[in-house]
Amino acid sequence: MKGFNKLTKEQQDILIRTNIKHKAGVGTDYKDGWTPVKVSPLGENLKVVFKNGEWLHYTPSGQWY
């Protein structure tokens, strides 16, 4: 995923942990579109762009919006 290696270890953990939580309760078709393809820091949050073209903020507390 573009930008992952530029994140700090803490930011990488936030991304991985929040993405697992984000996909946990949804079906396979939904999961496929929400595969992260690009990530960048945005203040305390991460801006995560997905395969479907949408993007969300992932927060240090494991929330997304």
Residues 19-49: pLDDT tens digits?
999 999 788 878 888 999 999 999 999 999 9
What is the C-alpha to C-alpha distance for residues 3 and 61, in angstroms, rounded to an integer? 21
Q: What is the mean pLDDT of the chain?
A: 95
Q: What is the mean pLDDT of residues 9-25?
A: 95
Per-residue model confidence (pLDDT) at position 4: 98
Residue 36 is classified by DSSP as: E
H or E element, residue 9: helix 9-23
- Burial 30-50, CB ≥16 within 10 A → b, else e: eeeebebeebeeeeebbebbb
Q: What is the mean pLDDT of residues 36-64?
A: 97
Residue pair 57/64 in contact by the 8 Å Cβ criterion: yes
Per-residue model confidence (pLDDT) at position 26: 81
